[in-house]
Structure 1
Amino acid sequence: MSMIDIDPPGFRPPRPVAGDAGKRRTVLYGAYTVFSVFQPVFSVSHRRAIGYHASLRAHGEDGGQIASHEVFTQAARRGDLLELGRLAESLHLGNFHAFDSHDEWLFLSLHPAALMDTIYGDALLASLKALGLPPHRVVLEVPEQAGGETPRFAAIVDGLRKAGFLIALGGFGAKHSNIDRVWHLHPDIVTLDPGILAQASEHSHLERVLPGMVSLLHESGQLVLMGGLATERDALIALECDVDFVQGQYFAGPSVDPVQPQAAAGRMDALSAALRLRVAERERMQAARLAPYVAALEHASAKIVAGDTLPDAAATLLALPEAARCFLLDASGRQIGDNVLPHGSVSQRAKRFRPLLHSEGASWERRPYFIHALRTPGRVHLTPPYLSINEAHLCVTASIATPAAAGEMQVICVDINWEAAAHHG
């Protein structure tokens, strides 16, 4: 039976009070000794710790470690939750102040009830003033689901920001997360939910989406932190997504002491080298997979220049297994004629997207495959995998610009079904 289940009737432990264990501050709560641990947050670019995320650990009377949630569960049962939370926060501030550091941030996770307390900000500022810590050294992490979308909640967060604190939105991407919340609260940092990483590690199509999510947050004005990194694969996913900050056991676990300034530099360098190899190998495999399509497109281009029609010129190209369609664009990006499809019946997927299949006269002037082909005529260009509007699946488009009979340029394009090609590769 756990310690929280054996209290005799009428028993009430002492209120949580500040204590001292050697040189480190602690909080005493009943039979528990609660203390701070700090897990470093590393900047990928700077290759060093730029902050520490504070959390609680607890020891029982026998010195054995107790799950910290048991302490908070007991405090909630007895109505001490806010008081214990404030003391824990004061504990983190005092222990962080004892670090030999000058610039690092302290990340504090806020309980929703504490955040909605109108005097919370004033009390926190008073604690910082007593320690000589400026508020810009503290990052207040707001739970992603805290406070709903109420004007009062947004006003409290805005007040904390105006007082000098940095604001982080934690757990982005979980459950009901949406980008509107980021735009509404204007956090300085967005912390991705660890569940996103777990899913990306298992599903390659989700891993492909992550860089776009990070890019969207960057364009919205937020720095991005990915935590929970436990393996090299996790860390490589984070680096390839271009996140700003990383945290996790792979780099350093929670500790009562700060890390050495260059603790992660060697690991960051090794990861960067591994990522370069990973990207180079992926590009090599893609180039090998696409080589037949490049050669066939060059052959089709030569036949177009010689006067062949697109269906005749593209016959060899469309005979390749994952060629989805060929089409021809004029110098303004407007499609000449309809798509030329491989021989055989239209796929069930294509039938579902039938309104999008016929593209004569469509304008593709903003598409990279048109822009890049026109910039360097006579050279085949390949797009990264992207969602095809024709059948709503991933495709790669190969394109080449060639002169038309009247002297103007034309761009010949072929869409390659990338989902199927990647599966076969």
Structure 2
Amino acid sequence: MTTPPQNIPGTHLNSAFQPILSLSHQRHVGYEALIRATQTDSGETLTPGEIFARATSATELHALERTIQSMHAQAYNSLPPSGDNPAWLFLNLNQRLIASGEYKETLPKALETAGLAPHQVVIEMLETPGDNQRLADAVSWFREFGCLVALDDFGTGYSNFERLLELTPDLVKLDRSLIQRAVEEHAEGQRRILNNLVALIHEAGSLVVLEGVETEHQALTALDADVDFVQGFFFARPTLVGPQSPPDLGLEPLRQITEKFTEHALEELTQERSFLRPYGQAFLRAAARLEAGTGLHDSCADLIKMPYVQRCYVLNGRGEQVDEHVLPKRCGYSADPATARDRLFAQVPDQRYRPLIDTQGGNWLRRHYYRDACMELRRLKVSRPYRSSTGNHICVTLSIAETPPAESSPYVLCCDLL
């Protein structure tokens, strides 16, 4: 059954829905409701902004919002079922309505009329300058009413982490500009920013939706960024609800891009394992010699000669670097620590980072490679690539924890690879 289009004076309104897909579940988890409007006399298409601009008073705005919310809620009931799995209805509320507080009347009535429960709805809200308390009050009200809350278009305009932490939204929808920048040529830095942004939002307690995914490259980048949900033309365009509406809208592109990403990721993983295998083997031999009582320099003599090895060092049970580090000869290593340090400084590729090169006396307790090693003694750990604190480069750290005889706390042998 198709929900009949709604009309306001001079305008013909209809609901269109764009699926929101879970990369993990490989299915729809929601649909964003969007307005489709045309002039009654000319058939000219109108944008949502043009529609709301016609509401010149609070009374007209509230009437328009009631019409649109009711229309979307009823049309949602006409969506084709996708098995036994429920899906959220994503609703955008006009910012003027948020400011007035009228949503407390319009939303319950719209859902009641359509027979929808609040837990089926995700309210999308924009960050805008102005009364922060009013926005926080709205988020609190929607939660108490039973809806989920999504912060829309995050990553542009007025977005900031302070607001994110204050509002603690259930979902964060990343602005399309983030994925557009991440796929530009030579945009490795932008891709890392996207990946780290997703990780930070997850740590803040929110799920992540990446909207505006329009190309295969963008879809692969979204998978690599570990976002939870995707939305965009690459998967499906907004579609009017009708008897012929396909229940699997967007699922085939999702399956295909996931398969392509999986093949690429497994191939990349195989290459990484092949590259790291000799380093891991040499590192474990060095760890065995160190555990047997050989000094750090002699234990790491073979390892330090390998290409891409930057330094080897030992951390104690408090994460503090013990004594000197072992440096490769290409970086100026010699038996005399003072000479080694001078020659190292002289050969630093970027002299601006010279104050960071010497790590003796450092404390790396906060590093994941140290904590991961301490969680599983005698198990080789390989960190994810991260920005080194010793220069302008990305590195990977091998680490392994051992407990010396008669000692209660472990020490951790580490090796940084460029």
Bin for the TM-score computed over the shorter chain? 0.7 to 0.9
The secondary structure found in structure 2 opposite 1:116 is helix
Match of 1:385 in 2: 385
Among 224, 233, 241, the alignment partner of 1:257 is 241
Q: 1:50 and 2:51 equivalent? A: no
Distance in 1, Cα, partners of 2:109 & 2:405:
78
Distance in 2, Cα, partners of 1:409 & 1:117:
60
Match of 1:421 in 2: none
Q: 1:93 and 2:77 equivalent? A: no
Distance in 2, Cα, partners of 1:187 & 1:409:
40
Distance in 2, Cα, partners of 1:192 & 1:158:
22
Distance in 2, Cα, partners of 1:309 & 1:351:
33
Tell me, yes or no, if the aligned pair for 2:20 and 2:32 is still in contact at 8 Å: yes
Tell me, yes or no, if the aligned pair for 1:57 and 1:65 is still in contact at 8 Å: no
Q: 1:323 and 2:315 equivalent? A: no
Using structure 2 for the length normalisation, give the TM-score.
0.78
Shift in Å at residue 189 of structure 1? 1.6
Tell me, yes or no, if the aligned pair for 1:294 and 1:398 is still in contact at 8 Å: yes
Shift in Å at residue 331 of structure 1? 6.3
Match of 1:395 in 2: 395
User: What pairs up with 1:239-254 in 2 under 5 angstroms?
Assistant: 239-254=223-238
Tell me, yes or no, if the aligned pair for 2:377 and 2:402 is still in contact at 8 Å: no
Among 114, 123, 127, the alignment partner of 2:110 is 127
Shift in Å at residue 174 of structure 1? 1.6
Match of 2:264 in 1: 278
Give the 3 Å change call, closer, same or farther, for CA 281–98 of structure 1 in structure 2. Answer: closer
Match of 2:5 in 1: 25
Stretches of structure 2 that go unaligned for 5 or more consecutive residues are: 333-342
Q: 1:229 and 2:220 equivalent? A: no
Deviations 1:231-270 (A, max 9, x none): 2332233333333322112222111127544444444443
Give the 3 Å change call, closer, same or farther, for CA 105–350 of structure 1 in structure 2. Answer: same
Shift in Å at residue 318 of structure 1? 4.2
Distance in 2, Cα, partners of 1:176 & 1:353:
37
Q: 1:37 and 2:44 equivalent? A: no
Give the 3 Å change call, closer, same or farther, for CA 412–160 of structure 1 in structure 2. Answer: closer
User: What pairs up with 1:293-372 in 2 under 5 angstroms?
Assistant: 293-294=279-280, 296-297=282-283, 300=286, 309-311=295-297, 314=300, 317-330=303-316, 333-341=319-327, 342-343=331-332, 344=343, 345-347=346-348, 349=350, 351-352=352-353, 354=355, 356-365=356-365, 367-370=367-370
The secondary structure found in structure 1 opposite 2:183 is helix
Count of residues paired in the alignment: 392
Tell me, yes or no, if the aligned pair for 1:48 and 1:263 is still in contact at 8 Å: no
Amino acid at match of 1:397: T
Distance in 1, Cα, partners of 2:351 & 2:277:
26
The secondary structure found in structure 1 opposite 2:54 is helix
Match of 2:338 in 1: none
Stretches of structure 1 that go unaligned for 5 or more consecutive residues are: 1-21, 418-425
Give the 3 Å change call, closer, same or farther, for CA 85–316 of structure 1 in structure 2. Answer: same
Distance in 2, Cα, partners of 1:46 & 1:403:
42
Deviations 1:151-172 (A, max 9, x none): 2231133123222232111011
Amino acid at match of 2:234: Y
Shift in Å at residue 122 of structure 1? 0.8
Distance in 2, Cα, partners of 1:96 & 1:406:
67
Shift in Å at residue 311 of structure 1? 4.3
Using structure 1 for the length normalisation, give the TM-score.
0.77
Deviations 1:10-36 (A, max 9, x none): xxxxxxxxxxxx852232443x43322
Amino acid at match of 1:44: L
Distance in 2, Cα, partners of 1:77 & 1:65:
21
Q: 1:180 and 2:180 equivalent? A: no
Tell me, yes or no, if the aligned pair for 2:311 and 2:326 is still in contact at 8 Å: yes
Deviations 1:322-354 (A, max 9, x none): 332222345665423223332252425465351
The secondary structure found in structure 1 opposite 2:156 is coil
With 237-246 and 65-74 compared, the bigger mean Cα shift is at 65-74
Report the RMSD for the aligned CA atoms in angstroms. 3.7
Amino acid at match of 1:227: E
